[in-house]
Structure 1
Amino acid sequence: MRIVPTLELADCRRIAAVAETMAIQHQATVSLAICDAGGHPLLLIRLDGASPSSASVAMAKARMAALNGKPTADQEAAINGHRPALLQLAGVFKESAVAMGGGLPLLVQGLCIGAIGVSGMTPDLDAAIAASAASALGETA
């Protein structure tokens, strides 16, 4: 048996604060979502000016990153390249999950304990905000 760390609300708030700070610095109107390792929502924030759809997309990015334990940008690149069959994953999960840049697994001791998804700007900026926020835990994928 092994003991697996889990995200607590205080962790989610710390991660979200880092994401929000970076978003404000870049004048980015984004939504960010944090979920547990099973893809269940823990925290959702839609910054002022962010589109309503960005909240759903942020959660879908977080869910995909958590359930795969991989950055969504890597999955998007694989789909666009040599692995189009990965498009089927969203259907397998039975809930919204997308392989679009901006979702990162949250790792502790090499284990995926959840994920963050950011949506609303360019894939590169969404991913940069997510990476900055994920660093609040000290490990990233």
Structure 2
Amino acid sequence: MRSIPALELADARRLVQTAWAEARSRNAIVSVAVVDGGGHPLLLERADGASPASGAAAPAKARMAALNAKPTAALEQAINAERPALLQLAELLGPPAAAMAGGLPLVLDGHCLGAIGVSGMTPEVDSAIAAAGCGALDVPPALG
């Protein structure tokens, strides 16, 4: 048997707080979600004025990142290039799961602790806000 570290609600709050600081610096109106390593929701916050769709997309991005232990931008690139069959992942994993840029997993010693998902702006801005959020913990996001 092995012990695996896990994100706690306090960790999720720190991730979201740091992501919000980055979002404010960019005047970005987004939703931010954090899930645990199994893709289960820990925290979701939607900014005033953020679209309802962003409130659904952020946790879906986080879930996809956590269950694959890969950034959603990499999955999106693969779908748009050589691996369109990866579109089936969302169906296999069950809703909500989305391979759209803005989701980053947190991996420690080969174990995915969870992920953060951001939605509401461009793929680049969503990803940058997610990456900033990851800076709140001493666990770097998996970048590829």
Spell out, residue by residue over 1:36-88, the C-alpha distance to the aligned partner (whole angstroms, 9 max, x if none): 11111000000121111101000100000000000000000000011110000
Q: What is the TM-score when the length of structure 2 is the normalising length?
A: 0.95
CA positional deviation for 1:106: 1.3
Distance 1:75 1:7 in 2: 23
Identity %: 60
Instruction: Give the match's secondary structure for 1:136.
Output: coil
Please say which of residues 101-110 and 87-96 is displaced more in the overlay. Answer: 101-110
Distance 1:93 1:50 in 2: 26
Q: 1:137 matched to which residue of 2?
A: 137
Distance 2:78 2:135 in 1: 24
Q: Does structure 2 retain, via aligned residues, the 8 Å contact 1:106–1:137? A: no
CA positional deviation for 1:109: 2.9
Q: What is the TM-score when the length of structure 1 is the normalising length?
A: 0.97
1:1-141 equivalences under 5 Å are 1-138=1-138, 139-141=140-142
Distance 2:33 2:124 in 1: 17
Distance 1:43 1:107 in 2: 18
Distance 2:34 2:57 in 1: 12
Distance 2:55 2:46 in 1: 6
Instruction: Give the match's secondary structure for 2:90.
Output: helix
The root-mean-square deviation of aligned C-alpha atoms, in Å, is 0.8
Task: Identify unmatched segments of 5+ residues in structure 2.
Answer: none
Size of the alignment, in residue pairs?
A: 141
Instruction: Give the match's secondary structure for 2:2.
Output: coil
* Structure 1 runs of 4+ with >3 Å offset: none
CA positional deviation for 1:108: 2.4
